[in-house]
A and B are shown apart, each in its own frame.
Chain A
């Protein structure tokens, strides 16, 4: 190879190697970090818990995820960093799996696999009734079966009632904060029929300041989402008018691409079980926007391979933002919002629907409309501002939430500038899929779904390299 040829090729080869390293790094990090909600050992943990109560459950069990989102974030707010996440998975009981056995009996276990609550079918013959004076002592002797620190728990009340011929007892224990933040409180209730424990239930009462901050921020972000939605609607109306004008003057429209994207969005919404009306509206809007994109001639040319690389790089950057905010005395949650009824379709929906619906509007239409007045970058800034208000996490101070979102939006702007709207769509989808991986359960398919972006990036990079 001649020296000139080498000098020409070396920077491109270095860029390719760097891009591949970013993709591989992001993929490895996402898989290594794994899932926060766990779920693999939930069935066994529940079975073991029920066996402690001398109940043998059947083989068939249904597993559902239960997340108290506000409690999980309140724990993270009280204990910033990984400690808060660990509490949400464990002693805080914010992330739990409910395992219901087909033969009766159910138990909930935390994401860490600790028993949280249990309920047995009422035995037909529970045995002779305990004398009332012995109930509290019986409950105290049963306590070590259900908690790791029985000494921290004190019985406070004992209730009793009759149903038919049976007499039920409920003993309520109050525990100290334990591993939870100071001023948080734990409670536990044990229900007894005859000489058997039939139900155990734990509850965590958070300090109202922690819960209040999270709830307050959630409400406030909901209020601040309104101007962003208005902005999106206005941008969409602009796109519609531009499309109609282009149609009147026989301008170029991407009807085929629009149709494909509309079908994709509809399929994602249908698969994930999203509301049908919302899915239809989003699909039509996304299709219409993609169809009119060619009328905005200021858009940069398409180089889709840039997208997954930028998206993965953004994913590598985001955890550092949390460290910076916490270093400055603020707080941002470590985890993204959890999903009700997680599935692979929902994982795809959460990552790729915002990418397909929002990115063409924010990175394509908004700069296209605003370019004559503000220039492309001005329009991109407008789009980033609107986007930053759409999905921020509750943070302290509130501006930190928007700052973090703005960094992500800026990365998408860079992707759009370098590789066009397709690159921005791929970047957003890649980022969302990787960043949301921890809130989906253990499982190979969840890993593979999170990997779609980096794998696409790898394929596109190698393909473009081969073509060049």
Chain B
């Protein structure tokens, strides 16, 4: 009888999870088409569709979400050339292109010979003298020496002015300085969680090089590219570890009802503006580890940046809620794929210092889950994102129930 009473008192608290359901119900904008196939499936399709190039294609080295399809890259171990292919989401032509190192020798064809080699080419071509050959281009179709080199493949659209990443970086620096001057009481558990996440990310880093697809170049051996990617990643992770030791998360508490709310805002931001790099990660084996690690480390960075923003707004603290709300609207409208972290920083900056670590992690967690659920349409990532969402809901429900018990 007593237990039933307790349940009756506690269960209404779970109504705070409703905003999350609402966020999940918000339709994804049409231009954010969901990709129905994994990059590996797309690669298999491209390998079936590509013509015989007369040379070794090498291994699949990386992929990137471009438009409503996958841009894929193969490169042999010697690195002298690479093959790019773009596989559309639905039925459609697989486009491909061969890129060859400029020093690789080949034929210096005349225009007539080049036209004859490419078939029905009547328009005049343009050529480019390389160190050991002549490359021709007729419209979109190309020749590398005497090798058909395919046509242009869709490239990622250059992003808008990167104001928000720089703004967030500035807040982060301000927050680090604030934390150095006013250290506060360290949340040992959260610091350990950040360390553990960094270790997990470092362990997964060798399996993540596929998302560094833009750094592969013809003439550069793939192991060198991968080494540079790994060295950069390790450098950043070591710096993050040193940063988390020096600017550790602060101890604090937060009202339980804010957790599902912030989680819902994160999910909504992710659904409306999924970050393309998070979708690239969806094609990896260790995606669950990487997403979880990124959520925790991202949460810590969000909190640090929020502290910086809060201190920067100290001279106008009377109007801080108004400024933060206006910033939130601006971020939702203009930050694009950075809307999730920007909103997380703004929300965390509105909370009392030291209480925001839970919220920062919840917002980032929600943003990642929202992005994946909106952008990926194949089994693995959907399952993993749902798993992350269920875990977050469980934590939020536990916090809500405990809060009710305490009340």
Contact = CB atoms under 8 A, between A and B. Distances in A.
Partners in one complex: yes
14 contacts: A208-B104, A212-B104, A215-B103, A216-B103, A219-B219, A220-B220, A223-B220, A223-B228, A227-B228, A231-B235, A234-B235, A245-B177, A249-B181, A373-B245
Contact of B180 (A215, A227, A245, A369): A245
A241 B176 contact: yes
Contact of A244 (B101, B105, B177, B215): B177
A234 B228 CA distance: 16
Given A241-B177, A373-B242, A227 B132 contact: no
Given A227-B235, A230-B235, A219 B220 contact: yes
Contacts of B101: 212, 215-216, 219
Nearest to A248: B181
Given A215-B103, A227-B235, 18 more contacts: A70-B131, A208-B103, A208-B105, A211-B131, A215-B101, A215-B102, A216-B79, A219-B220, A220-B220, A224-B228, A226-B215, A230-B235, A234-B236, A237-B173, A241-B176, A241-B177, A245-B181, A248-B181
B102 to A, nearest CB: 7
Given A241-B177, A244-B177, A212 B103 contact: yes
B188 interface: no
A398 interface: yes
Contacts of A234: 235-236, 239
Q: Which 8 A-B pairs have the closest CB atoms?
A: A227-B231, A208-B105, A212-B103, A227-B232, A215-B103, A234-B239, A220-B224, A208-B132
A211 B103 contact: yes
Nearest to B232: A227
B217 A223 contact: yes
Nearest to B177: A244
Contacts of B181: 245, 248-249
A211 B80 CA distance: 13
Interface string B155-173: 0000000000000000001
Given A208-B105, A216-B103, A223 B224 contact: yes
B227 interface: yes
Interface residues of B, number: 30
B236 A230 contact: yes
Contacts, number: 80
B217 A219 contact: yes
B131 A208 contact: yes
Contacts of B251: none
A58 to B, nearest CB: 35
Interface in A290-304: none
A216 B220 contact: yes
B131 to A, nearest CB: 6
Task: Give chain A's interface residue range (CB within 8 Å of chain B).
Answer: 20 to 34
A241 B175 CA distance: 10
B95 interface: no
B156 to A, nearest CB: 19
B215 A211 contact: no
Contacts of B245: 373
B183 to A, nearest CB: 11
B89 interface: no
B40 interface: no
B221 interface: yes
Nearest to A240: B173
Contacts of B224: 220, 223-224, 398
B386 interface: no
Interface in B210-236: 215, 217, 219-221, 224-225, 227-228, 231-232, 235-236
Nearest to B226: A223
Interface string B126-139: 00000110000000
Interface of A: 70, 208, 211-212, 215-216, 219-220, 223-224, 226-227, 230-231, 234, 237-238, 240-241, 244-245, 248-249, 369-370, 373, 389, 398
Contacts of A226: 215, 228, 232
Contact of A220 (B131, B132, B221, B236): B221
A215 B232 contact: no
A170 B103 CA distance: 28
Contacts of A369: 242
A240 B227 CA distance: 29
A416 B245 CA distance: 27
Contacts of B180: 241, 244-245, 248
A212 B176 CA distance: 47
B201 to A, nearest CB: 16
Interface string B98-112: 000111110000000
Contacts of A220: 220-221, 224
Contacts of A216: 79-80, 101, 103, 219-221
Contacts of B177: 241, 244-245, 248
B225 A223 contact: yes
Nearest to B225: A223
A373 B220 CA distance: 35
Contacts of B227: 224
Contacts of B215: 223, 226
Nearest to A386: B235
A323 B102 CA distance: 31
Nearest to B79: A216
A311 to B, nearest CB: 28
Contacts of B80: 212, 216
Contacts of B232: 226-227, 230
A70 B130 CA distance: 13
A449 B79 CA distance: 42
B221 to A, nearest CB: 7
A373 B243 CA distance: 12
A293 B404 CA distance: 54
B224 to A, nearest CB: 5
A95 to B, nearest CB: 18
A224 B227 CA distance: 8
Contacts of A231: 235
A389 B232 CA distance: 12
B188 to A, nearest CB: 18
B262 to A, nearest CB: 28
A208 B287 CA distance: 42
B131 A215 contact: yes
A225 B57 CA distance: 27
A221 to B, nearest CB: 9
A215 B231 CA distance: 22
A245 B177 CA distance: 7
A220 B225 CA distance: 8
A236 to B, nearest CB: 11
B221 A241 contact: no
B173 A215 contact: no
B219 A215 contact: yes
B241 to A, nearest CB: 9
Interface in B102-125: 102-105
Contacts of B131: 70, 208, 211, 215
Contacts of B239: 234, 238
A51 B265 CA distance: 82
Contacts of B173: 237, 240-241
Contacts of A240: 173
A265 to B, nearest CB: 23
Contacts of A244: 177, 180
